[in-house]
Amino acid sequence: MIDPGLRAQVGALLAQRSPDTVPSGVLMWFGRTDLGAGGPDDPPLSPEAWTATYARLVAGALPGALPPVATVLAQVQAERYGAVVPLAIVDVDVERPRADVVAAFAAAAAAGRAHCDVAADLVDLVEPGHVFAVGALLPPQWKQRTSSHVGSTVTYRLDGANYLTNRGRALPDRLAVDFGDGRGERTLPWGTTITIDHGDDVEVTITVRVGDGATARVGRATLPLLHDAPPPTPDERWRLTGDPYEGVAGTGWAGTYLGRGNAALTRPVVLVEGFPGGASADYLYAQMNGPGLLDRLRAAGHDIVIVGFDRGTDLMQRNAGVVVAAIGELRARTSAPAVAGGFSMGGLLVRYALCTMERASQWHGVATYLSVDTPHGRGSYTSPADQWFIQELGSIDPRLAVFGALLDSPANQQFLRWWVHDGTAATSPLREQFLADLAAIGGYPATARLLAVSCGRGDGVASMEAGATILDWTGSPFASATLTALAAAGEPTTMAQGACIAVGDGAPPASLPLADDVCWDAAPGGQNVYTGLIASVLADIGCGAPTTAVPLSCSVPTVSALDLDGDPFAPVPAPGTAGPFHDFTTSSVNRIHLDLEPAVVDWIVERLTDPPANERPDA
């Protein structure tokens, strides 16, 4: 374990950071610092590798020195799969510790010493360097760890806003790009938008040269290409504004996809986005379509209306107003009976919206409510160990910091069973308020058939051992951490502990004890990949080796998705015999949250296209 004195020494050195001691504004001092400088031997970077590189720089940047990672990626966050591809160029001078300084601190840390014998002034320990990296920015894609551009034709944009450099530097005069299309390098002005046909290529390498002669820097970016058809374009798109909640209105949008043979909305199925919102129509269509759900419903004559949110992290009461607005738009167009449902948090928002309308004697005309892996009942679950890690050590990488902001967002607090805050895990007051508000308006819509599906199995089989180690970060003298699942027997267990010199200021290693009567990590249910994502970021940092024996853990327990009160490790009862739902189904294995298996899609399609007589709205 790193000696507190050594962490204090590092903290004192970092406290010296200022424009005077770090003239570049970027001090790369933790993890791997040997990033490419724009030479011919630098490896090409995938979109994800470029993001990881940029995140390393932002982690070492003085406040305001570089735009946040999330800001740079925001321009493609909600873009369609075949949208314009911005090329991002990072071209920054940096400071970084000399190799001998790093070695001295490593030796001191490994030996458990409280002090490293180096100069006391930061400026005496660092040397100048440079990082140059080119990347293609792509929107996130459902189920894809690595995104691809969809289509053989790519429209690239060379926007001066994506030239990321030290403060006070202007755009370089000379920019030349080889798009790998056989036409060689072209000198182009900033602001150029250019369309290239890449034919049958499945990956292209784009070479960007900035500057002239001996001072030129060269970077290469790879761009994977998928030649599949992209999701369909909405037939119509609505802007939505809900009634204000606590003085502020939620906003969002809806996209309509007409069913086969329909010239207008005829048999509408409204499906609502889950947390955190802000996804593109393409992303949501791909997610909800799964193994053909939307395509099959449309082929059967149903019209799909996808509802998305501008701020899906906001209070759920506020975004439920957006769903009410969507149903209002629907009702301005058709009085046909509708299906309304939601994926994950979206299911809660639809519940709240329909109950609100019923309470206000507003006709919603929703005959069937469909819940897809929604955290009803006892809510969703995010490993408190993961949450602790993000909260305590997340500052080492801006991507983890973004993750932390999502965990602390109002909506997440509202549907999360255990929210880690100030070193404790508890139910958020926001959740208590939401549940009280929902109960006060009826809990579930009274006039609709209620259907639910779970992405978890229904036989009660645990997915891991209680108290299992889910992440182990070792191999570096500068950091270590161990994260475990909850224990089973209700005994307080130290489920997370660790330390990192990067965030140390002399405080002792932090840890999180927590008592619960259930090892929710192991509960059958839709799974999240948060532990795996943390490990992936740690690997990018290049400090030690994270291992994840169990990269998945329960996200929405089956008993939550079906709103059942019983033991999460017991087989679920027969549909219609317990809980609020008239009918439900589970998955054969625990799947990634919202990743529907074909049998579940069959189940949904059957019930929406040919409901049994006793479940028909007019029965």
Contact residues for other proteins (CB under 8 A)? Answer: 64-65, 67, 71, 74-75, 78-80, 83-84, 155, 157, 159-161, 167-171, 173, 188-197, 236-239, 253, 264, 280-281
Smallest gap, in angstroms, from Cβ of residue 244 to other proteins? 12
Nearer to other proteins, 227 or 239 (CB): 239
Tell the residue number behind the tokens 């004697």, with chain if given: 361
Smallest gap, in angstroms, from Cβ of residue 327 to other proteins? 18
Nearer to other proteins, 25 or 546 (CB): 25
Nearer to other proteins, 194 or 440 (CB): 194
Smallest gap, in angstroms, from Cβ of residue 169 to other proteins? 6
Nearer to other proteins, 202 or 264 (CB): 264
Determine the length of the chain: 619
Q: Which of 135, 133, 192, 189 is nearest to 165 (CA)?
A: 133
Nearer to other proteins, 34 or 197 (CB): 197
Would you call 610 exposed, middle or buried from its count of C-beta atoms within 10 A (0-12, 13-18, 19+)? Answer: exposed
Nearer to other proteins, 127 or 173 (CB): 173
Smallest gap, in angstroms, from Cβ of residue 306 to other proteins? 13
Mapping DSSP to helix (H, G, I), strand (E, B) and coil, where does residue 618 land? coil
What are the residues whose beta carbons fall under 8 Å from the beta carbon of 356, sequence distance 6 or more?
320, 321, 324, 441
One-letter identity of residue 107 = A
Smallest gap, in angstroms, from Cβ of residue 395 to other proteins? 19
Nearer to other proteins, 197 or 517 (CB): 197
Nearer to other proteins, 198 or 267 (CB): 198
Smallest gap, in angstroms, from Cβ of residue 65 to other proteins? 7
Nearer to other proteins, 113 or 333 (CB): 333
Smallest gap, in angstroms, from Cβ of residue 203 to other proteins? 19
DSSP 158: -
Q: Cα–Cα distance between 83 and 162 in angstroms, integer?
A: 16
DSSP 592: B
Nearer to other proteins, 187 or 424 (CB): 187
Smallest gap, in angstroms, from Cβ of residue 542 to other proteins? 28
CA–CA distances in Å: residue 174 to residues 126, 171, 436, 525: 31, 9, 61, 54
Smallest gap, in angstroms, from Cβ of residue 246 to other proteins? 15
DSSP 479: E
DSSP per-residue letters across 93-143? EEEEE-HHHHHHHHHHHHHT-S---S-SSGGGTEEEEEEEEEEE-----TT
Cα-Cα end-to-end distance for the chain: 67
What are 216's two structure tokens?
């030129």
What are the residues whose beta carbons fall under 8 Å from the beta carbon of 24, sequence distance 6 or more?
65, 92, 93, 94, 95, 128, 166
CA–CA distances in Å: residue 463 to residues 224, 568, 591: 34, 12, 11
Q: Which of 245, 162, 167 is nearest to 210 (CA)?
A: 162
- Are the C-beta atoms of residues 601 and 461 closer than 8 Å to each other? no
Smallest gap, in angstroms, from Cβ of residue 182 to other proteins? 13
